[in-house]
Amino acid sequence: MRPFSFRSPHLQVTPTRLVLSLLLIGLSWGSALGASEKTTIRLGTLLPSGTAQHQTLQALGEEWQKLSGGSVKLILYPDGRLGGESEMVKKMRIKQLNACVLTAVGLAEIDQGIAGLQVIPMLFKTWEEVDYVREKMRPLLEQRLRDKGFEVLFWGDAGWVRFFSKEQGIHPDDFKKMKMFTLSGDVRQAEIMKAIGYRPVALETTDIILGLNTDMINVVPVPPLIALAGQFYGPAPHMLDLNWSPIVGAAVIRRDVWEKLSPELQAQLRKVCDATGAKFRAQSREESEKSVQVMQTRGLKVHSIPAENNAAWKQLADNLQPRVRGTLVPEDIYDEVFRLIAEYRSHAPAGQP
């Protein structure tokens, strides 16, 4: 049998050629569709727009777009525009958000183990200790989040929590007379505070100024960077110079979104994320201290703890820490954090704790 042919002085098509041609056309269409496929990542954060950290996130988005040839687009929603951290986690779960930059409080909504880096009062004394414990626990914590459907992009922090109050407070008992802001939804922390004689009032971060202006709250425990950006120091012009706890967090993305990207692109993006995390942490720590200086020029009064009050603050931390174990922080994570702190301090250079 003679092969089917399309009579042309320039072209003869056999069945074999026809199949190969159609296959090549199909592959070329597939490549074109793959190249044009877009991944839009919507990322929410409480970070104020205009801060160095917000600009670093913008730069991260630009770098991702460049590395992906325009196929990955990062859209930022700063200033808590999409609600508090609890609300943003809910929106990630129902796929209204793809990613978030969260503190350990927000991350604990996904996995409680992350709280071990932040909510144990007066445990960490230096950033070197924070870095040591975080890096040692990083594989475990990232796997716990991965098991819950989230991938860590990078780790960050936002300074030390200080107490900003409407009236001066230098002794733990001073703050028992005040109504203290706590994050809405953080019921267990509120219960612990009530048990030791404090008066927690749960609000969203977007309601802090309103709460201060209407005397719903009298004291806000936040890092200086956030106090400056939110202008909390206006109605709460007293700051206690005490490193209560570090604000530690991470940028996370839903695994189903992350796994749409090729392994090669993931590896490229991770390199950028590692550099972003290091820059993010350095910026936050520097800006947090500079924020205190700026607020002082605008009327903030910074109060040191008198030597005779040190024992009372230590006693408060000693009373709180066991209550955190097994409630805010899983027992195994809590014990590991303390073990790593002791390990670091046993090898710390002279002059460090």
Domain boundaries, the chain: 38-346
Instruction: Please give the pLDDT value at position 350.
Output: 62
Asked if residue 114 lies in contact with residue 145, where contact means CB atoms within 8 angstroms, the answer is: yes
Instruction: Please give the pLDDT value at position 352.
Output: 60
C-beta neighbour count of 120 within 10 angstroms: 22
Q: What number does CATH give the domain 38-346?
A: 3.40.190.170
Cα–Cα distance measured from residue 182 to residue 184, given in angstroms and rounded to the nearest whole number: 6
- One pLDDT digit (tens) per residue for the chain, 353 residues: 333 333 333 434 444 443 333 333 333 333 333 334 788 999 999 888 888 889 999 999 999 999 999 999 999 999 889 988 889 999 999 999 999 999 998 999 999 999 999 999 999 999 999 999 999 999 999 999 999 999 999 999 989 999 999 999 999 999 999 999 998 777 888 899 998 999 999 998 889 999 999 999 999 999 999 999 899 999 999 999 999 999 999 999 999 999 999 999 999 999 999 999 999 999 999 999 899 999 999 999 999 999 999 999 999 999 999 999 999 999 999 999 999 999 999 987 765 65
Render the burial of 13-32: b for 16+ CB within 10 Å, e for the rest.
Answer: eeeeeeeeeeeeeeeeeeee
